[in-house]
Amino acid sequence: MERKRGTPPIARLLGPAGALAAGVAALRAAIAGAADARNGQRPPLSSDRDKVAHLLRRAGFGYSVADLDAYTRLGVPGAVDALLNYEQVDDSALEARLAGLDLKLRSTLDPEVRYNLGDMQREWLLRMIYTRRPLQEKMTLFWHGLLVSGSGKVGQIQPKADLPSPPNLMLDQIAYYRSHALDDLGSILKAVARDPAMVTYLDSNTNRKGKPNENFGRELLELFTLGVTGPDGKPNYTEDDVREVARAFTGFGLDQGRFVFRPAQHDAGPKTVFGKTGPFGGDDVIDLILAHPGSAPYICRRLFAFFAYPDPEPDVLTGLVQSLRGSNGSIRAVMRTLLTSRAFYSEKAYRATAKSPAEYVAGMARALELQTDAFNFQGSVQRMSQTLFNPPNVSGWPGGAAWFNSTTWLERVNRANSVLGIRKDDHTQPVALLTFVQRHGLDTAERAVDFFLDLLVDGQVRPQQRQVLVDYVNEGSLWKGAPARESEPAVDRKLRGLVYLILASPEYQLA
Amino acid sequence: MSMLSRRIFIQDGFKVVSLGLAMPHIFTRAVQAAGQEAGRDDSAVFSPETVSNDPFADRTLIVVQMAGGNDGLNTVIPYADGAYYSQRKNLGIPEAEVLKLDDRFGLHPAMGGFKGLWDAGNLAVVHGVGYPNPSFSHFKAMDIWQTANPEGRADEGWLAKLVKGSVDRRGHPFAGFAAGSTLPPALMSPDVSVPAVDNANTFKLLPDPRYAVDAPARQKALVQLYSGYAGGDPFARVLQSTQDGTIGSIDQLQRAHVAYKPAVEYPKDGFGAGLRLLSETITGDLGVKVGYITIGGFDTHSNQKPNQARLLQSLSDGLKAFWDDLVAQGKADKVLIMSWSEFGRRVGENGSNGTDHGTVVPQFIIGNGIKGGHWGDPVSLTDLASGNLKFTTDFRSVYSTVMDGWLGAPAEKLLGARYPTLGFIGSGQAA
């Protein structure tokens, strides 16, 4: 093919001058705010677009340019509605994508067909990357970190003649959280008390009359619903309460991986819990917990810390608690209050949470419009210290600054590097950075830097940091400073370095 | 440190702090350490004499966390006490299986390695360890142990305080080191980044596979992005010190990793792999003052017998191999090992062939420079509080002994109170 002299490949990629100009104009408009920010003119979260970006990071797993455009067109309240009313969103493309992969999620009598944790994790990561119902998936991750069970102890049920396709207990627990993510708190807790993975994980299946096992009862109070003490430092329950709650749940058990209640093993005698006495069973105890003054603030604090920032101010907490109590415990009502609250969009909330490994990896994939089956992604997320389906212990992941240490930090930046470096792979298509150049008219180093800063970190970096990136892109003999005058491979490798640096930056580690 | 005081600016590619004394410790210390590495020359603040005259200078403390709450009664077994067998009808270890230490106590049968250490005088058992108003929550109890604070509230862990300055006068980036991919709260501090490493082979900053020549330019820009970052707490200090500490330690760890030849075969489990890594850092002279490793799964509410046996086997075999390796590498005199667990378990067993959360737990001390034997008063199995053992030895006494006696650190100052030391280091007499 004949190439016109003086027209390098990238210029052809960028297309006719007219299209390029239009692209540049649009891009300039889009990044105008970012330019202000670099001059210290624009505080964070000051435009609708910024607020929606923040919303999609917290109530989801980040966004592509197209996602951000679409949600921004709805306005902030409209975007919150769309996230909360996810049942109305068609997610069949995700299900079709998952169905097209040979992921081993169930075991059968065929010894070749055994589910494995890696495939379960891949499937979940794919949901985080490709779902059009991001809040549903984010809530699922929230519940997994609050009402914790873990595959390490839950284990596998082996298929046998009278149980040819045994349930996958951890997968089913997470599926429950997914399908009931915004239900009322009481029904979720009562279901979790019966959830076979939980019944196994916290030993309810051997909690019998006369010989109670305290494991579930203690963690139900301490970690799932109340906390050892309230914010005032006063105990929410006593050691005697733990022992009595354990008695109330005696008789909860499993048969072939399904929940059963065994009346003969249940202690029907009177128990005293929180100063009230009666022949309580498990559901009665959950009702007593819901009536305990500490339970509504506890769940609201946990939600607010996960989605906004730790330790909400008293009036913020009061608003959430009123929503919960005024709606018979509806988590959807609390989330609506939370996601529309002033505090959620306040400067204090900006970059006030750390991205968990799953958020980091899924967010990167969304922003770069990655086409992947997530092969090997799960191992990387695990090395970043987040083993999905198997939290480190019953309190879940500590989160926050604890996500960052030398090993997990290296794994993050190295994962960004390997995602960008993929050339030809059966599982993941190369990141199409040149299509960003074409679509968004990135015809100078500055425009490329500003575009990716805007996409990945709201353009909110200091001028010195932006200059570091501009200098990086301009440096090197293979690069002449303007994409339009460069060969495609030269542009691509400099852009890979640029995007790597932003994904590795301190700003991008935060949500 | 205020936000403003931590701001760091870039001039000619180097980090410069706006206010001189406000540079996070790790930066200044990494710079010093890099200089020392080159020629083992302590210029600047610390003269070579200061260091060589310090008897504590090249000592290492290895802390082993047995997470989940270890059943102490089935670890150091009071086999001569009838109350033990009447409380432990199903789980009690028969006298014939106990590895007897003397006429009162014996080790769990899976702990042959520890028995060897005991026979050689390298193992001390501290009995009855606990603290007033015990917490039965894993997490509160762990916080208490990791901060050495009865409320479990502190900005930094007790070992981080040591690493931060009290025992690391040379300011080495490897003063603290955690084997594993999680940094324990005991080693967390906003002011110092302790490396947590689970695999030396992957402890590298990878280049673009299709543009490797760009690696130096990219790394330079990466460092500048972090030093130019102006975010607020709690993340700014952690992210900056993590980036800086990691990049500053990769080369040293890789050198130690390549040079290391284990003198023994380590058990092929995660605990064994972590101990091997700790040995690499010690034999590689990386200057580790406090090393940390966790073995988890001791929360034996059900099916305790096989689960605890497996864990104690792993603990005992692993630490015996580690010890033998250190002896062979000529490092054993410089290493002290201390185990801990957030609590022991209820004296009476539950109906699941397990035990629920309890209070008191023994601690193990392993070393050459110690007095082996029993320390602290054994607990009573009949004088209980709601079915739980009453403690006889405050864990902060154990900490004080190790801080004062092994690391030469001011225990009273660091713990905020004076706790009587035990005699396993120094001139004491074993019980």
For A250, the enclosing helix (H) or strand (E) is none
Query: What's the angle, vertex CA A38, arms to CA A498 and CA A481, rounded to 5?
Result: 40
User: Are residues B235 and A506, on separate chains, in Cβ contact within 8 Å?
Assistant: yes
Residue A368 confidence (pLDDT) above 80: yes
pLDDT at A387: 97
Q: For residue range A387-399, list pLDDT tens digits in order.
A: 999 999 999 999 9
Q: Which residues of chain B have pLDDT under 50?
A: 1-51
Mutate to test the interface with A, among B144, B201, B225 (most CBs of A within 10 A): B225
The count of other CB atoms within 10 Å of the CB of residue A19 is 12
What's the whole-number mean pLDDT along residues A397-402?
94
- Torsion sign across C-alpha atoms B129, B135, B137, B141: negative
Closest-CA distance of chain A to residue B39, Å: 26
A225 DSSP assignment: I
A510 with B235: Cβ contact below 8 A: yes
pLDDT digits (tens, 9 = 90+) for A461-490: 999 999 999 999 988 644 555 666 677 888
Tell me which residue in A421, A462, A504 faces B228 most closely, judged by beta carbons. Answer: A462
Query: Using the beta-carbon criterion (under 8 Å), do A500 and B218 form an inter-chain contact?
Result: yes
Positive or negative, the CA dihedral A202, A206, A208, A210 is negative
Q: What is the pLDDT of residue B431?
A: 57
Of B223, B231, B154, the residue nearest B186 (C-alpha): B154
Contacts with B199 from chain A: Cβ below 8 Å: 407
Q: Which two tokens stand for residue A428?
A: 């993941």
B182 and A385 within 8 Å at the Cβ level: the answer is yes
Please judge whether A510 and B231 are an interchain contact, meaning their C-beta atoms are less than 8 angstroms apart.
Answer: yes
Chain A interface test: which of B210, B252, B307 (most A C-beta within 10 Å) = B210
Q: pLDDT tens for residues A152-162?
A: 999 999 999 99
Q: What is the pLDDT of residues B160-187, one digit of tens each?
A: 999 887 666 566 778 999 999 889 999 9
Nearest CA in chain B to A420: B208
Residue of B20, B243, B216, B12 whose CA lies nearest to A464: B12
Question: So what's the pLDDT on residue A475?
Answer: 81
What lies within 8 Å, CB to CB, of B79 at 6+ separation is: B93, B95, B98, B100, B104, B105, B106
Q: Cβ–Cβ of B351/A213 closer than 8 Å?
A: yes
Q: Which residues 6+ apart lie within 8 Å of B129 measured at CB?
A: B340, B360, B361, B362, B363, B376, B391, B393, B394, B395, B398
Contact A203 B352 (CB under 8 A): yes
Cβ distance A421 to B210 less than 8 Å, yes or no, reads yes
CA distance A466 to chain B (A): 9
Segments of A142-293 assigned E as strands: 252-255, 258-261, 271-273, 276-278
d(CA A30, CA A24): 10
What is the rounded CA–CA span in Å between residue B92 and residue B304? 11
Q: Between chain A and chain B, how many beta carbons pairs sit less than 8 Å apart?
A: 194
Chain B residues close to A413, C-beta within 8 Å: 205, 222
Is the four-CA dihedral A285, A289, A290, A292 of positive or negative sign? positive
pLDDT at A46 over 80: yes
Model-level pTM? 0.88
Is B243 within 8 Å of A409 when comparing Cβ atoms?
yes
The string of pLDDT tens digits covering residues A218-244 is 999 999 999 999 888 899 999 999 999
Q: Of A335, A334, A346, whose CA–CA distance to A309 is shortest? A: A346
| pLDDT confidence of residue A488 | 82
The chain B residue lying nearest A415, using CA atoms, is B206
| Nearest by Cα to A125 from A452, A408, A360, A434 | A360
| Average pLDDT score, chain A | 91
Rounded distance, CA A168 to CA A175, Å?
10
B371 CB-near residues (< 8 Å, 6+ apart): B121, B124, B423, B424, B425, B428, B429, B430
Q: Which residues of chain A neighbour B357 with C-beta distances below 8 Å?
A: 214, 218
Distances (CA, A) of B74 to A206, B92, B126, B127, B390: 21, 7, 15, 13, 17
Q: Residue B5, Cβ neighbours under 10 Å: how many?
A: 14
Set of chain A residues whose Cβ sits within 8 Å of the Cβ of B203: 406-407, 410
pLDDT at B25: 32
ipTM of the complex: 0.91
Query: Which chain A residues contact residue B301 at CB under 8 A?
Result: 202-203, 213-215
H-only helix segments in A249-367 = 282-291, 295-307, 314-325, 331-340, 357-367
pLDDT category of residue A112 using cuts at 50, 70 and 90: confident
Q: Is A7 exposed, middle or buried (0-12, 13-18, 19+ CB in 10 A)?
A: exposed
Kindly list the residues from chain B whose CB atom is less than 8 angstroms away from the CB atom of residue A384.
Answer: 181
In this complex, the residue of A210, A354, A468 whose CB is nearest that of residue B225 is A468
Task: Give the integer Cα–Cα distance in Å for A339 and A359.
Answer: 18
Residue in chain B closest to A240 (alpha carbons) equals: B386
CB A20 within 8 A of CB A443: yes
Q: Is A256 helix (H, G, I), strand (E, B) or coil?
A: coil
Q: What are the chain B neighbours of A244 within 8 Å (beta carbons)?
A: none
